[in-house]
Every structure is written in C-alpha cells, then in structure tokens.
Amino acid sequence: MIINVLTMQDINNISIDDRKIDLEEKEAVVKSIIDDVKNNKNEALFRYTKQFDKFDINETNMAVSADEFEEAVNSIPQNEKEIIKYAKNRIEKFHKKAKQQSFLTEEDGIILGVRVTPVQSCGLYVPGGKAAYPSTALMTIIPAKAAGVEDIAIVTPTQNQKANPYVLYAAWLCGVGKVYKVGGAQAVAAFAYSTESINKVDVIAGPGNIYVALAKKLVFGDVSIDSIAGPSEIMIVADKNADVDFAAHDLLSQAEHDELAGCYFVGLDKDLTKKVEKRFYELAQNTQRNSITKESSKHAKFFYTDSLEIAAKLVDMVAPEHLELQLEDAYSFMNMFKNAGAIFLGHYTPEPIGDYIAGPNHTLPTNHTARFASPLSCDAFMKKSSIIHYSKKAFLESAKYASQFAKLEGLFAHKSSIEVRVDKDR
C-alpha cells in the first residue's frame, strides 16, 4: 500500500522499517563460538567446520594448496576470466585514485602533518558456501592491496569441501595465495585471536551472514573491522520521467538477496508510484529466487510525495545502502540530503552496475548506518599518525599558552615539561 507523505508532519507518523531481526539468541551462540576458538584454537575451528560445513578439516587440508589454485584457474572458461579481469581493472583504478596521502604543512617554524600508513595484516571474509561472490573477493582484496597491506589472508566457506573456483581465481588474479577453507563466526574468531594455523590480523573486512556480522561486532576492539553488514537495502527516488520496468527490476535486484532485504520507493508522481508498486509485486512472485523475493517484498515501502524536500527527508531517514535517483535533475537533488552508502544517478545507472564493474566498492553501510558509515575503501586498511615539529623559536613563542593550559587543567607535570625548556633558554 502506497504511503502518502504530503507534509513534514506526515513523516513523524510513518514507519520506515518493520523488519524484525532477533539478535539476542544468535549473539549468545556467536559469543560461545568465539570463546571456544579463543581457548581451543584449531581444535574448535575444525570442530565447527565439520559441524556447519560438513567438512572434516585438519591442518593439512585447511589452506588452499597450489594444486587447488591451479585446478580452479584452469577450470574457468577464458570468456569468464575476461569478465573478472575487466572488473578487477576498473575497481583497482578507482581505489588507487581514492587512496589518502600523507601531507605536511609549515608555518613560522612549525611543521604539522599526517602520516598515512597501511596496517600490517588483514583478514578478508569472502562468502563461498551456497552463494559465492568473486565480486566480493575483488572488492575486499583490491582496496587492501591499494592501501599497501603486505599480509592478506582470506577465509571462505566451502561447498562439497572445495573452495569456490571463481573466488580462488579472483584471489589468484590479485596475487593473494593465503586462503583458508573455513567460514562462519569461527573463522572471524580465528582472525581475531589466532589459532595454530591462522594468524591474528589487524583488520577484518568483508560481508557475511548474520553470524559473521555478529562475530565481527563482538571482536571489534581486539581487532579493527570494516563494518557490521546487515541485509541489503535499496531506495529509489523517481519522477514522472522514470521507466516503470527499470524501477521495478532495480528494486527486485536487492529483494532477491535476502528475506529481510529492504526495498524503498519514493515517487514524485502518484500514477508512476502505483505502476511501480504493481509491477514490483508481480515480478517478486515469479523470479528464479521467488522463495526469497516473496518474503522480502512484504517489507517493501512505497511513498508518494510531490515535494523534493520531503523526498530528501525520507532519504535521510532511511539512509539507504544503495540509492538510485531516477530524476530529471538528479545532481541538484543530491545536494538536498546527506545519508546514502552509494548513489546511482540517472536512468542507465542501475545498482547492479555498481555491484560488479563501476569501480567504487559494493561493500556498503547497511541497516541505516549510512548516517555515519562509509563504503569499504583503502581507509579501512590504513591508519594515521600525527606529525608535529616545533623549532626552538616557535616553541618559545607559544610555550606560555601551553603552560597556562596545563595549569588550567591542573596537570603540573605537563606544565613543568614545557617550562623546563623555557628556563633552559633564560
């Protein structure tokens, strides 16, 4: 049912999200797995892999061997390799350009700056069980490589005791040879605390199911993480010039990910909104993944407003992972809101183009966290150090201010650290 949002007051009376995710019981399960791996290391990791993935794993078969890499690379048709290479080159080009640089500034004998350096190691989670995503392998490996991380390891669950060949090809293409055939919360725990076979890392990145997401949440602080990924989301803002089929299919592209996927449509034309809603529900019943889309479509929200200001307010409230602007003047509208993970402008920029080949990362903030979070980038694998250098002259000119500030806060050793230098110069 279309929700009419005609005034700002109406916004206060609408429900943006009715998806229900019960995390308490799952979080308790994940915590017990993490504690077990932390205490029992390989033994626990192997036990959970056998329990959940039906893979009798051990020290000799957990890591992907050179022969397994070779088999995977040789099994992929050349035309499919070219597709993955094309995506790799575009993603690599974007992330290299987006990498932050160190800098220094100098003024009156004071040198200030920021030194940007990569972390030493990272662990990447790449889904690989029932659904395998070589695109996610590219989207996690490439920013880590571009950042300059030297030690990159991948965990990926198996199907029939084998790592997905497309994931292995993507890893091989990017020059990453350390891949472990484990997944789930237990793999995250191994990266966070180490086992006899897997080393502790500085950063864990990459999407996974709810158990992986909760594990990343629980180990954060002992290691850094990129984000806590939730179900996928898409929002479309469209005017009367939008194509009904384009919009409906784009909503469906995210609805097929997960039963809890969030689909939002904001129409600036009521007739268009009705047609998109009708077409979307028709499509959701008849997809190849309709066991998922029938469920996720129940959570879809369709809004109508004739106000760009109200449409922008709805965008900021939802803070969607993916935002499509099928508008006559999309660039002007983009200046009216702040919250979105990735913004797709125009009628020929569907969200899936960003999933695979555009270049910016498809690992994005979900669950309305685009209010404060950003897409995965080199930043997740880098850290900053402040650089401060005072000449003697610059120090003496400003020392009294620092000394007085220390006194104001009652930190007299701080004050003495400054004044001992001033006294030496007298």
**Tens-digit pLDDT profile for residues 149-174:** 999 999 999 988 899 999 999 999 99
21 pLDDT higher than 80: no
**Chain centre to alpha carbon of residue 79:** 29
Instruction: Tell whether 3 is covered by a domain.
Output: no
233 is a catalytic site residue: no
Question: Which among 38, 65, 64 has a CA at the least distance from the CA of 195?
Answer: 38
Task: Give the SS3 label for residue 413.
Answer: helix
Average pLDDT of span 352-380: 95
Instruction: Tell whether 15 is covered by a domain.
Output: no
Which of 193, 210, 225 is the endpoint of a domain? 225
Residues 341 and 364: beta-carbon distance below 8 Å: yes
User: What strands lie across the sheet with 110-118, from one edge to the other?
Assistant: 103-107, 110-118, 382-390
**Tens-digit pLDDT profile for residues 63-90:** 999 999 999 999 999 999 999 999 999 9
Instruction: Find the domain containing 412 and state its range.
Output: 393-425
Q: How many CB atoms lie within 10 A of CB 163?
A: 24
| Together in a domain, 112 and 139 | yes
322 is a catalytic site residue: yes
| Together in a domain, 199 and 270 | no
| Together in a domain, 245 and 353 | yes
Instruction: Tell whether 19 is covered by a domain.
Output: no
How many residues are recorded in the chain?
426
State the catalytic residue, choosing from 95, 257, 299, 322.
Answer: 322
82: CB partners within 8 A, 6+ apart: none
| Together in a domain, 213 and 236 | no
- Structure confidence at residue 184 (pLDDT): 95
Number of domains in the chain: 3
Mean pLDDT over all residues of the chain?
A: 94
Instruction: Tell whether 280 is covered by a domain.
Output: yes
Helix axes 210-219, 24-40, angle to 10 degrees: 60
Average pLDDT of span 7-20: 80
**Tens-digit pLDDT profile for residues 292-322:** 999 888 989 999 999 999 999 999 999 999 9
115 pLDDT higher than 90: yes
How does residue 130 score in pLDDT terms, banded at 50, 70 and 90?
low
Tell me, what CATH number does 282's domain have? 3.40.50.1980
| Together in a domain, 159 and 212 | yes
| Together in a domain, 141 and 245 | no
Instruction: Tell whether 380 is covered by a domain.
Output: no
| Together in a domain, 286 and 143 | no
Q: How far apart are CA 14 and CA 9, in angstroms?
A: 10
| Together in a domain, 325 and 415 | no
Instruction: Tell whether 8 is covered by a domain.
Output: no
Global pTM reads 0.93
Average pLDDT of span 405-421: 97
State the catalytic residue, choosing from 92, 277, 321, 324.
Answer: 321
Q: How far apart are CA 249 and CA 280, in angstroms?
A: 7
- Structure confidence at residue 356 (pLDDT): 96
From residue 230, give the alpha-carbon distance in Å to each of 21, 210, 223, 363: 10, 7, 20, 11
Instruction: Tell whether 18 is covered by a domain.
Output: no
Q: Identify each DSSP E strand in 138-280 by its residue range.
A: 151-155, 179-180, 203-205, 224-225, 233-238, 262-267
Q: How far apart are CA 182 and CA 191, in angstroms?
A: 11
Question: Which among 159, 205, 197 has a CA at the least distance from the CA of 178?
Answer: 197
Residues 297 and 284: beta-carbon distance below 8 Å: yes
| Together in a domain, 202 and 292 | no
**pLDDT over 90 percentage in the chain:** 84
Return the H-helix or E-strand segment holding 34.
helix 24-40
**pLDDT over 70 percentage in the chain:** 99
Task: Give the SS3 label for residue 370.
Answer: helix
Instruction: Tell whether 9 is covered by a domain.
Output: no
| Together in a domain, 352 and 412 | no
- With residues binned 3-state (H G I as helix, E B as strand, rest as coil), the percentages for the chain, rounded to 5, are 50, 20, 35
Q: How many CB atoms lie within 10 A of CB 183?
A: 26
Which of 195, 225, 255 is the endpoint of a domain? 225
| Together in a domain, 241 and 199 | no
| Together in a domain, 258 and 175 | no
Q: How far apart are CA 358 and CA 206, in angstroms?
A: 19
